[in-house]
């Protein structure tokens, strides 16, 4: 419990209230798609992530690993605080507190299912550079589905949308995806999260879709599974 006391002293906040919210499924300051992803994660033994605002306006993260053995606090990087915690019964046991800058989430599996001779997976990733590589290589049909998920035609007048066959459209779509994937515009450093659909056949894996939200990625993956013992 000494580490929790140190947490309270470092940030002048009581950690118990955040732990209680996390343990009870109150995910705090997350987007609707991330809330849905958490609900899916709870039922499928995946990593669960919550975010909460301190009185200072800064954000902390609480992450429970997939096997529920470890829960981690990620604190504002300027708090100067990093310390191990004793075991506590909150969706597993809390064993570490760290700075956001040194303990950012990596990636996790949200879906894995065979479709004939193919394996379809959905990963949640936090690496914007890797996300851009995926975005560039997915096909035009995937980009059309992404544009629908991002509600491009609902959010822009037709004259403000670049020609889909022109050189500026891909940059435009990427910027829209990046903006939708940003966890919190007020956060520094910024945290992005993306859902990537992959397909593996004969030992070769390729990325076939990317989105900012779980429902869109799940729908694409399920269509691939249903229709996809071939192409969409």
Predicted local confidence at residue 184, as pLDDT: 63
Pull the structure tokens for residue 170.
């891909």
Q: How far is CA 91 from the centre of its chain?
A: 19
Q: Domain segments of the chain: what residues?
A: 2-102, 107-227
Each residue's pLDDT tens digit, 168-177 = 999 999 999 9
Pull the structure tokens for residue 45.
């033994």
Pull the structure tokens for residue 200.
């593996």
pLDDT at 161 over 80: yes
Pull the structure tokens for residue 145.
């589905």
Q: What is the mean pLDDT of residues 200-222?
A: 92
User: 121 — phi, psi (to 5°)?
Assistant: -130, 155
Each residue's pLDDT tens digit, 95-138 = 344 444 434 455 678 888 888 888 999 998 888 888 999 999 99
Strand partners, 121: 112, 198
DSSP letters for 66-124 = TTSS-EEEEE-GGG---EE----BSSSBEEEEEEGGGS---EEEEEEEEETTEEEEEEE
> pTM of the full predicted structure?
0.60
pLDDT tier at 187 (50, 70, 90 boundaries)? low
Candidate from 63-77, 80-94, 210-224 with smallest mean pLDDT: 80-94
Predicted local confidence at residue 189, as pLDDT: 59
User: Is residue 86 within 8 Å of 104, Cβ to Cβ?
Assistant: no
Higher pLDDT, 106 or 28: 28
Q: What is the mean pLDDT of residues 214-218?
A: 93
Predicted local confidence at residue 6, as pLDDT: 58
Predicted local confidence at residue 77, as pLDDT: 54
CA dist 152 and 183 (Å) reads 19
Q: Which residues of 192-231 are buried (b: 16+ CB within 10 A; e: fewer)?
A: bbbbbbbbeeeeeeebbbbbbbbebbbbbbbebbeebeee
Strand partners, 108: 124
Q: Are strands 94-99 and 71-75 parallel, antiparallel or unpaired?
A: parallel
Predicted local confidence at residue 7, as pLDDT: 63
Each residue's pLDDT tens digit, 37-65 = 888 888 777 788 888 888 888 788 888 87
């Amino acid at each position: 419990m000494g580490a929790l006391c140190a947490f309270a002293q470092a940030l002048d906040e009581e950690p118990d209230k955040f732990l209680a919210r996390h343990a009870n499924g109150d995910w705090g300051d997350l987007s609707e798609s991330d809330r849905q992803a958490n609900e899916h994660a709870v039922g499928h033994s995946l990593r669960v992530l919550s975010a909460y605002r301190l009185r200072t306006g800064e954000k902390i993260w609480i992450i429970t690993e997939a096997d529920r053995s470890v829960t981690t606090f990620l604190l504002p990087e300027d708090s100067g605080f990093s310390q191990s915690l004793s075991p506590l019964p909150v969706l597993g046991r809390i064993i570490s507190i760290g700075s956001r800058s040194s303990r950012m989430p990596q990636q996790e599996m949200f879906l894995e299912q065979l479709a004939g001779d193919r394996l379809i997976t959905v990963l949640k990733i936090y690496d914007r550079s890797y996300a851009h590589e995926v975005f560039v290589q997915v096909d035009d049909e995937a980009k059309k589905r992404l544009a629908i998920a991002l509600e491009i035609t609902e959010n822009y007048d037709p004259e403000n949308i670049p020609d889909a066959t022109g050189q500026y459209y891909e940059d435009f779509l990427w910027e829209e995806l990046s903006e939708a994937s940003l966890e919190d515009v007020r956060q520094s450093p910024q945290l992005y999260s993306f859902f990537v659909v992959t397909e593996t056949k004969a030992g070769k894996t390729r990325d076939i879709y990317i989105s900012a939200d779980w429902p869109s990625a799940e729908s694409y993956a399920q269509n691939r599974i249903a229709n996809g013992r071939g192409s969409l």
